[in-house]
Amino acid sequence: MNKISFLFACILLIAISSSSAFGQNRQSLIPQPVERKDLPGTFSFTSKTKVIIPSENPEIRETAEIFAGQLASLTGNKLLITSDKAKRSIELRLNNADNSRLGKEGYSIRVSTLNVIISANSPAGLFYGAQTFLQLVPPVKNSSVTIPCTEITDYPRFGWRGLMLDVSRHFFTKDEVKRFIDQMVKYKYNVFHWHLTDDNGWRVEIKAYPKLTSVGAWSVARTGRYGSVYFIPEESGELATYGGFYTQNVIREIVEYAAARFVTIVPEVDVPAHSRAAIAAYPEISCSGKPTTVSAGTSNGIGENVFCVGNEDNFKMLDVIFGELASLFPGEYIHIGGDEANREFWKGCPKCRQRMKEENLKNLPELQSYFTQRVSKILQSKGKKLIGWDEILEGGLAPDATVMSWRGMEGAIAAAKAGHHSVMTPTQFCYLDYLQGEKNIERVSFGYLRAKRVYEFEPVPEGVEAGYILGGQGNVWTEFIPNYRRVEYMTWPRALILAEVLWSPKGKRNWDEFVSRMEDHFLRFDQAEVNYSTSIYDPEIAMVKTEKGEFRITFTPEIKGLDIYYTFDCTFPDKFSAKYNGKPIQTPRGSSEIWAISYRSGKPIGRLLVITFEELKARM
């Protein structure tokens, strides 16, 4: 055998070994199923294996086609879809009689040595079963694929399992939105909350009000850290060229694409606040009526950004806007935002004061409640329900409103007491735009949310009946996320974790065991070229003060099995440097910073951390 042939043989052997090893890992499913029983033997399939759908169930053909496409992308094997029986096959089968245990979205899988049967009460259940089957397949392209025999019974804990993508701060293309949906459905998410409007851009075409997009979808271009260069004012003659919007035809296409994957899109048009883009297009909707521009980075309180509640024409405008939205999005809900309204603009507005007098409103929160209830009636007239951030509770809640609790758990608790449903998305567990690793490595974002913290999330607050909690979602706000690769990086793997929290039984959680499964899915991300964070491997550092007033440094690794090496002399640490032994480290005289890196099994795995003592003291 010559050297080239020998090298090829070695590579092939490694690939087959890796595939086999992954296939034998029986615990790499995310979310964790309700029940799984391992069976003896394996099932093998090639491009000659067929996907069978019964002739009496033509409604599942689209699901079968999506599944076959996913399988081809994963393995390279294009399987034929047929209604004819085959000796070796993967069959999608609707139950003749509903299995009450599975419900609408549950499924069962039986993998035997000869075939695979995925059964469910509905096409949605078959789709989720197919996603689980895909996770049994090793992420290595191979003409022959082998997976372990098994039986799985599974169904979700919550009906609302969502991810939100903010496309106002930065616009993302049709194909990027589809890619986001493709990735979320692999982990059984079923709600895509689409944040379409804000101060920074209006992204949905409204035919009756064309300037919402011709003006409101564009700002001057700025590149850099949010909160600094984004607030540089427009220069004279500078053109607004940054942004974009979705035509109604594109929206229909994306809605149809999502629906085929059993994802409901909940559109958000944020009112009465976060509306500077709309005001830039139509200044008369504000209290002052003064012209303004779409800002590259406005935040609450910077510039007038609220609808005038005293202007009756505004409700006529909103009736038209929500009417067009209702025709585009067939889902049950439309999100109206309702958060962070700067009510000072209303306080000095003659029209708003007159509205308060006419409606006998005692304060500004009641004025906002009046606005919300008017919008709720508009949505009811379009056959839709209102959902909004938990500020809509202030001043009184619209009768049929659903609350999205983001400022902790309090919104859900208050809503439940008032007999209203909630979707749980508290910042301390669900804001995926927050830093996920050591601050001096990740550097740019608002808050801080480690992966392990997400896994501690319990969506049902203590003292609240579970029936009031529809489910939960992760939010990807994009102030600090200027491109799609960064969207992926901030979303994954924390959205993996949230997927398990929202789907799997509460009693099955074990962080250390989950980490081993999560690392298997890093291989899947690599194969699919999905950008993801490896911050779980980075050293996390803190400074503590002893009783004697001395400062010490500690490390708190997020996962087990990491070795942390450090230096105080501004040289790059490696496995020959000082090793952290779990006890607080005394800072040597003359040093002003520490450099640290994590290793596993003798090899570097985390990113280099460099931080000064002054920075650490400031954190205290």
Provide mean pLDDT across the span 207-223. Answer: 95
Residue 60, pLDDT > 50, answer yes
Domains along the chain?
Answer: 13-154 (3.30.379.10), 160-528 (3.20.20.80), 538-619 (2.60.40)
Residue 197, pLDDT > 90, answer yes
Question: What confidence score (pLDDT) does residue 495 get?
Answer: 98
Question: What confidence score (pLDDT) does residue 443 get?
Answer: 83
Mean pLDDT of the chain: 92
Cβ 459 vs Cβ 502: under 8 Å: yes
pLDDT in tens, 221-240: 888 877 666 667 777 888 99
From the candidates 234, 319, 339, 340, which is the catalytic residue?
340
In the residue annotation, 421 being an active-site residue is answered as no
Provide mean pLDDT across the span 299-305. Answer: 63
In the residue annotation, 344 being an active-site residue is answered as no
Provide mean pLDDT across the span 524-542. Answer: 95
pLDDT in tens, 394-423: 998 888 899 999 999 999 999 999 999 999
Question: What confidence score (pLDDT) does residue 549 get?
Answer: 83
Contacts (Cβ under 8 Å, ≥6 apart) of 504: 31, 32, 33, 34, 157
For the packed helices 494-503 and 484-491, what is the interaxial angle rounded to 10 degrees? Answer: 50
Residue 335, pLDDT > 70, answer yes
Cβ 28 vs Cβ 36: under 8 Å: no
pLDDT band at residue 14 under the 50/70/90 scheme: very low
From the candidates 193, 274, 420, 521, which is the catalytic residue?
274
Question: What confidence score (pLDDT) does residue 444 get?
Answer: 81
Residue 378, pLDDT > 70, answer yes
Residue 303, pLDDT > 60, answer yes
Residue 572, pLDDT > 70, answer yes
Cβ 129 vs Cβ 100: under 8 Å: no
pLDDT band at residue 299 under the 50/70/90 scheme: very low
Contacts (Cβ under 8 Å, ≥6 apart) of 228: none
Question: What confidence score (pLDDT) does residue 296 get?
Answer: 58
Residue 576 phi/psi, 5° resolution?
Answer: -100, 0
Q: Which residue has the higher pLDDT, 10 or 102?
A: 102
- Of 12-21, 150-159, 566-575, 579-588, the poorest mean pLDDT is in 12-21
Residue 54, pLDDT > 80, answer yes
Question: What confidence score (pLDDT) does residue 243 get?
Answer: 96
- Of 107-116, 176-185, 328-337, 442-451, the poorest mean pLDDT is in 442-451
Question: What confidence score (pLDDT) does residue 231 get?
Answer: 66
Residue 178, pLDDT > 80, answer yes
Joined together, the tokens standing for residue 599 give 């290793």
Reduced to 3 states (helix: H, G, I; strand: E, B; else coil), residue 292 is coil
Distances (CA, A) of 489 to 40, 234, 486, 557, 580: 38, 31, 5, 20, 29
Q: Cα–Cα distance between 296 and 240 in angstroms, integer?
A: 10
Joined together, the tokens standing for residue 470 give 């529809």
From the candidates 154, 182, 198, 479, which is the catalytic residue?
198
Please provide the size of the chain in residues.
620
Helix ranges (DSSP H) in 476-569: 484-491, 494-503, 511-528
Distances (CA, A) of 300 to 126, 161, 170, 276, 343: 44, 28, 17, 10, 11
In the residue annotation, 198 being an active-site residue is answered as yes
Question: What confidence score (pLDDT) does residue 508 get?
Answer: 87
Question: What confidence score (pLDDT) does residue 287 get?
Answer: 97
